[in-house]
Chain A
């Protein structure tokens, strides 16, 4: 069994006088120990809400409904009471946020914020905790850690702050780490350092990592398997190489076609996806991506497209997927698409 199994997770926000928003709408994925799983999508696709729901960080409001299951090592995280959840959070499951400045307390020195985790979960106090904290900062590559412990967040650079946040997250050697856009606020050279650090942590300690990002480049270098989200649902799941080489869902393929690449030349026009994320259909009426889709057929507007699972572990939610050969920026070698080239007889249609 996988370490984290998210099954049919849904989050709805209802407010009086306003339309009920289904931010997450039946998301399922699983993460094994030592595995890096990506949740990719644009703003509003529900990737962050998914992580907040798993961590139990969504604001308590009568209008907020969370459904489904998120089983961590057998325990359903969604059903835990506050005390049990606090025991797990920070010790077994930790999170790294996008903006390190707003997720660190500005009036408390870094050292105290790191030792707080140690005190809460590992019962460490005083000098022992301080020594451990210095060791953690050193491990994430912060020079002169003992001095840095006394400093406040504003005295650290963006990269340092993100490192401090990572140090806090890994303080108790969590088995699952959720990183929500960990490098989006950082410059590319710093981003490279942080990604390297995360890879190292996964490699050294077998931590499972859920990487939430909009940057396909980051995903390509980091993740073992990838879930592409659109309007609250996973529209495609695949291992890293097949996803980039032969995206099946038109949204995935559209995303890949619309990013300018460092290794492509000047002037070739990009192929943007028309419209914007605002032009969505509700999933109950059909495919949410249909209004922007270049491969739209009538069937897209009839009903929710079912999830198609191919036997090689991929799945996509589309009635008219991108055909396997061609139409992809990277040429697929013939050896790389074995039985999947004739997927129909093997595909098993499931409806959820």
Chain B
């Protein structure tokens, strides 16, 4: 797989939702900038993981990429075809090649359709398979691929467990023979022991069918596990993008660092040793994002210059793309997190950079002082 074989390219994608007020005459009083200028490229046969907290625009980005939500601006190029300006009929034909897997298998499957009907719908729409028998054969294959028995065809979604339902959702996507699958939180509604089954299934399908994935998830451990490239979003924009291993071993953006440090690891030794970077306060409103760097209001490394008035663009630093003015100097340890800026760092030192340690009790105070 060469680097040049890009299946999907997103250029300066924007999705703004108008905020309306008024009873008789809707007035637009502002916009929620759910996605505000995202560039990314997904190589064929690889997995791009998109992480971020709720409200950061990751799901909207996924939907806009598939043209399920019309983008306000920017371009989406799928296999050299520009999708945003494509006439509806041609877009519909393209849809066969890009499918979606949804978070909640219960609400994304029609409870009144049996599995056969769920899986046939797409085939009929795209005119695949001449008659019922042919379609049955195609569906049967899809069921085999996702590890469901043939008798499932006549059953209804409620007769299956959560993991099996998600397999039906995956079968529905796979049955059309797509090239790209956008999976929006594919495992977060499932039980811990079932998550691994679905993650493994996604991996196997990628290998056997040569699929390209865009996986959207808030669970950083899951994303790390299945992604080749990971992009971190904050308030509608990418703040860092790097190969999966690199992002996790060497996070450069302060937000990425904070995210990584906040993920609990099921290992008491790691938990006791870790330095936790606590961010102060909550996500600012995407309707009125902070000027300059959008993260500067919560950033422990925020500097008096540039951060508040100049929006950083993604720039290349040793294989990663980072949107931070000070990434190099933070990485080298030259810049220290400012104490009063946001949150405290708990735990003993022992990491790569010496960092100030404060007692846990100051956390709440620091939060309140800042927010």
Question: Across the interface, do B224 and A196 meet the contact criterion of CB distance under 8 Å?
Answer: no
- Tell whether B220 is near chain A: CB-to-CB under 8 Å: yes
User: Are A260's CB and B196's CB within 8 A?
Assistant: yes
- Nearest B residue to A278, CB-CB: B161
Within 8 A of A (CB), among B321-371: 343, 346, 360-361, 363-365, 367-371
CB distance from B203 to the nearest CB of A (A): 7
Bin the interface of chain A by size: 35 or more
Taken together as a complex, chains A and B put the C-alpha atoms of A267 and B361 apart, in Å, by 40
| Chain A proximity of B76: nearest CB distance (Å) | 26
Task: Encode contact with A along B193-232: 1 for CB under 8 Å, 0 otherwise.
Answer: 1111101100100000000000000101110111110000
- In the complex, how many angstroms separate the beta carbon of A322 from the nearest chain B beta carbon? 16
Q: For B164, what are the chain A residues with a Cβ–Cβ distance below 8 Å?
A: 276
CB contact between A276 and one of B191, B268, B368 (< 8 Å): that residue: B191
B30 contacts the other chain (CB 8 A): no
User: B192 contacts which of A141, A259, A262, A265 (Cβ < 8 Å)?
Assistant: A259
Evaluate whether A256 and B266 lie within 8 angstroms (CB atoms) in the complex, with A42-B192, A143-B281, A190-B282 already known: yes
B124 at the A/B interface (Cβ < 8 Å)?
no
B279 contacts the other chain (Cβ, under 8 Å)? yes
Give the CA-CA distance A65 to B163 in the complex, in Å: 31
Contacts of B89 in A (CB 8 A): none
> Is B86 in the interface zone, CB < 8 Å from A?
no
| Interface bits A186-200 vs B (CB < 8 Å: 1, else 0) | 011111110111011
Q: With A261-B221, A262-B221, A262-B263 given, is the CB distance from A276 to B162 under 8 Å?
A: yes
In contact, B360 and A200 (Cβ under 8 angstroms): yes
In the bound complex, CA of A43 to CA of B363 (Å) = 33
Q: Once bound together, how far apart are the Cα atoms of A277 and B192, in whole Å?
A: 11
Contact with B along A160-193 (1 / 0, CB 8 A): 1000000000000000000000000001111111
A284 at the interface (CB under 8 A from B): no
Docked pose: A203 CA to B346 CA in angstroms = 15
Contact of B360 among A191, A196, A264, A277 (CB under 8 A): A196
Write out the residue numbers on chain A whose beta carbons fall within 8 Å of the beta carbon of B266.
Answer: 216-217, 219-220, 244, 256, 259, 261
Which of B100-108, B126-134, B269-277, B303-311 lies on the face that meets chain A?
A: B269-277
Whether B17 is near chain A, meaning CB under 8 Å from some CB there, is no
Which residues of B160-185 have CB atoms within 8 Å of chain A's CB atoms? 161-164
Q: Does chain B have a CB within 8 A of A204? A: yes
Residues of A contacting B91 in the complex (Cβ-Cβ under 8 angstroms) = none
A159 CB within 8 Å of chain B: yes
A272 near B222 (CB under 8 angstroms)? no
Verify if B26 is at the interface (C-beta below 8 Å from A).
no
A255 adjacent to chain B (CB < 8 Å): yes
Distance to closest chain A CB from B263 (angstroms): 5
Residues in A whose Cβ lies below 8 Å from that of B371? 143
B255 to chain A, nearest CB (A): 9
Docked Cα-Cα span, A197 to B162, in Å, equals 33
CB atoms of B265 and A187 under 8 A apart: no
Asked if A141 and B260 make an inter-chain contact with CB atoms under 8 angstroms apart, the answer reads: no
Bound: A199/B278 CA distance, A: 14
Q: Give the chain B neighbours of A271 by CB distance below 8 A.
A: 196
Interface members, chain A 213-252 (any B CB < 8 Å): 214-221, 240-241, 244-245
Shortest CB distance A264–B (Å) = 7
- Asked if A142 is at the interface of the complex by the 8 Å CB criterion, the answer is yes
**Residue of B244, B245, B281 with most chain A CB atoms under a 10 A cut-off:** B281
Please list 9 pairs of residues, one from A and one from B, whose beta carbons are closer than 8 Å in the complex, sorted by A's number: A187-B54, A192-B278, A217-B263, A218-B264, A241-B269, A262-B220, A266-B245, A272-B197, A276-B161
Name 17 extra pairs, CB < 8 A, besides A189-B53, A204-B361: A42-B192, A140-B364, A187-B54, A193-B278, A193-B363, A203-B360, A214-B191, A217-B266, A217-B271, A220-B268, A220-B270, A221-B272, A241-B268, A265-B245, A271-B196, A277-B191, A277-B193
Binding site for A on B (CB under 8 A): 53-54, 161-164, 191-197, 199-200, 203, 218, 220-222, 224-228, 244-245, 248, 258-272, 276, 278-279, 281-283, 343, 346, 360-361, 363-365, 367-371
